[in-house]
Amino acid sequence: MHRFRIGNKTEGSFHILGDELYHLVKVLRLKEGDQAVGFDNTGVQYRGIIESIDRDCASCRIVEEKFPEVEAKTMVYIVMGLAKGEKIEWVIQKGTEIGMAGFVPLRTQRAVLQLDGKKAEQKVVRWQKIAAEAVKQCRRMIEPPIGKVADWNDLMDILPAQTQWVIAYEDEKTASLTHILRGFHSEYPIAILIGPEGGFTPEEVSEAREKLKACSVSLGPRILRTETAALTALTMVLTYFGDLG
Amino acid sequence: MHRFRIGNKTEGSFHILGDELYHLVKVLRLKEGDQAVGFDNTGVQYRGIIESIDRDCASCRIVEEKFPEVEAKTMVYIVMGLAKGEKIEWVIQKGTEIGMAGFVPLRTQRAVLQLDGKKAEQKVVRWQKIAAEAVKQCRRMIEPPIGKVADWNDLMDILPAQTQWVIAYEDEKTASLTHILRGFHSEYPIAILIGPEGGFTPEEVSEAREKLKACSVSLGPRILRTETAALTALTMVLTYFGDLG
């Protein structure tokens, strides 16, 4: 059944507006009497019957409300160095499916991709759309926020004080991610720092350890591309805490 | 340092030929006296100094031999329904980095992509190149074989008799992958069946259970795209058996 982010809800009905309405009418060609599923960012899912469709709004009478348990209980954030091409898009899409809590794009020393000012804002808007589409497709309830492009100094303020940080570092020889997770608590957020194509500099790793109390971790003996590292680390953390498979 | 698949080896030297030679000379512009790392599919890695470069061959004097432990000990195969676009390419590339043992493309009932005859052979050749490139980049020693496009009836003969099969099935409500792995043995191969975009039919799942003794598993409450499911499941299995992070 088709899922729509709802515009608003009145007693007994939800309403589909804007781009979502366009999709319902022009792409899916749904009609009065068809079913539709609506959700907002509160975790509730409504099953409804379309009662009326006009130029600005499709109204659906609610026949069922559910609180599907699809969100991961452990809040895991990906904080990723600006990478080239579509890697960030890819990580946001699949990270949303896998269950990330949010995403922060990070300016790092070795990042080839430079994003500032208006360009950065436009990219973030595009990335938010990708997350929104992925939420619909994977049947999540809550859209993971995509943060503004951040600098290292911003990180301490972007995520809560109790956040537990790990930094994926290919030169880390002893500490594996799985080992580090044993000392983590799933009730506090976890943030995974992933470097751009050139990785993190030793200075960035030192700063993360010092300022964020980040644990540097290896993701195993094979070198992973930045986008592979992001999703692999996310999968490992969510699986460890029982939020996947 | 740059890695090359070696053509052959004589006492005290290894030799770089063909496409690898072209890459060395024309792209990387290495010269006599430069270092190069050579590997073949045996797990040995050679560090060498380039002694001579001619039109057909670059010869390198071996200064060090190593057996880097980069290969996963657990043999995990991805058997994936033919999916559209570049999904199979992504899975092969990233599956190689993550550590898969091999890949089998599978014709399934709901696959949109149809591949037969010459087209299928050409695709497999392309996919093998992707695996070969990924091996070089991620520093693996052994290239995961990419099988011919298979039908369901072929599967029992393609992988060893002791292979432990799982089939990722979104309608599986009770058995999680992590739970099923508790009953698996890491010394025998594990094969993960991943459906195409439309998933597997109930008949295919029944047949897999009956003929391959496959356990159907859920990968969690969120719907994963086929390529996400492949890499997520692979990561979960290798992490479970200690071959990642």
Query: Which of A177, A222, A232 minimises the CB distance to B139?
Result: A222
Cα(A91)–Cα(A89) distance, integer angstroms: 6
How many Cβ atoms are within 10 Å of B47's Cβ, its own excluded?
A: 16
For residues B148-163, average pLDDT: 94
Q: Give the number of beta-carbon pairs within 8 Å between A and B.
A: 107
User: What pLDDT shows up at residue B54?
Assistant: 94
Q: How confident is the model at residue B222 (pLDDT cuts 50, 70, 90)?
A: very high
Cβ atoms of residues A238 and A76 within 8 Å: yes
Tokens encoding A44: 């509730």
Is residue B180 scored above 90 in pLDDT? yes
For residues B74-88, average pLDDT: 96
Cα(A73)–Cα(B44) distance, integer angstroms: 44
| CATH 3.40.1280.10 intervals, chain A | 76-240
Q: Is B66 on the interface with A (CB under 8 A)?
A: no
B169 to chain A: closest CA residue: A245
Q: Is A67 on the interface with B (CB under 8 A)?
A: no
Q: Is B85 on the interface with A (CB under 8 A)?
A: no
Chain B residues 3-62 within an 8 A CB cutoff of chain A: none
Query: Which of B139, B223, B233 minimises the CB distance to A138?
Result: B223
- From A46-50, A234-238, B38-42, B84-88, the region with the lowest mean pLDDT: B38-42
Which ipTM value was assigned to this complex? Answer: 0.88
Q: Contact B244/A231, CB-based, under 8 Å?
A: no
Cα(B99)–Cα(B140) distance, integer angstroms: 8
A219 to chain B: closest CA residue: B245
Percentage with pLDDT > 70 across chain B: 100
Cα(B149)–Cα(B165) distance, integer angstroms: 18
For residues B138-157, average pLDDT: 95
Sign, Cα dihedral of A84, A168, B140, B5: positive
Query: Which of A94, A137, A217 minimises the CB distance to B223?
Result: A137
Q: Contact B222/A98, CB-based, under 8 Å?
A: yes
Q: What's the CATH fold of domain A76-240?
A: Alpha/beta knot (3.40.1280)
Residues on chain B touching A139 (C-beta within 8 angstroms): 222-223
Chain B residues 188-227 within an 8 A CB cutoff of chain A: 217-225, 227
Is residue B245 scored above 80 in pLDDT? no
User: What pLDDT shows up at residue B67?
Assistant: 85
Burial-class residue B149 by CB neighbours within 10 Å (0-12, 13-18, 19+): buried
Query: Which of A137, A221, A235 minimises the CB distance to B236?
Result: A235
Q: Contact A220/B245, CB-based, under 8 Å?
A: yes
| CATH 2.40.240.20 intervals, chain B | 3-66
Query: Which of A94, A219, A239 minimises the CB distance to B236?
Result: A239
Q: How confident is the model at residue B194 (pLDDT cuts 50, 70, 90)?
A: very high
Q: Is A142 on the interface with B (CB under 8 A)?
A: no
Classify domain A3-66 by CATH architecture.
Beta Barrel (2.40)
Is residue B43 scored above 90 in pLDDT? no
Reading chain A (245 residues) residue by residue, the pLDDT tens digits are 789 999 888 889 999 999 899 999 999 999 999 999 999 878 889 999 999 999 999 999 999 998 888 999 999 999 999 999 999 999 999 999 999 999 999 999 999 999 999 999 999 999 999 999 999 999 999 999 999 999 999 999 999 989 999 999 988 878 899 999 999 999 999 999 999 999 999 999 999 999 999 999 999 899 999 999 999 999 999 999 989 87
Q: Contact A178/B245, CB-based, under 8 Å?
A: yes
Q: Strands, E, within A73-116: which ranges?
A: 76-81, 102-106
> Which contacts (CB < 8 Å, 24+ apart) does range B207-211 have?
B207/B152, B208/B152, B208/B165, B208/B167, B209/B167, B211/B152, B211/B155, B211/B156
Residues on chain B touching A231 (C-beta within 8 angstroms): 228, 231-232, 235
Query: Which of B97, B218, B228 minimises the CB distance to A245?
Result: B218
Instruction: Give DSSP secondary structure letters for B125-191.
Output: HHHHHHHHHHHHHHT-SSPPPBPPPB-GGGHHHHS-TTPEEEEE-TT--S-BHHHHHTT--TTS-EE
User: What pLDDT shows up at residue B36?
Assistant: 96
- pLDDT, chain B, mean: 94
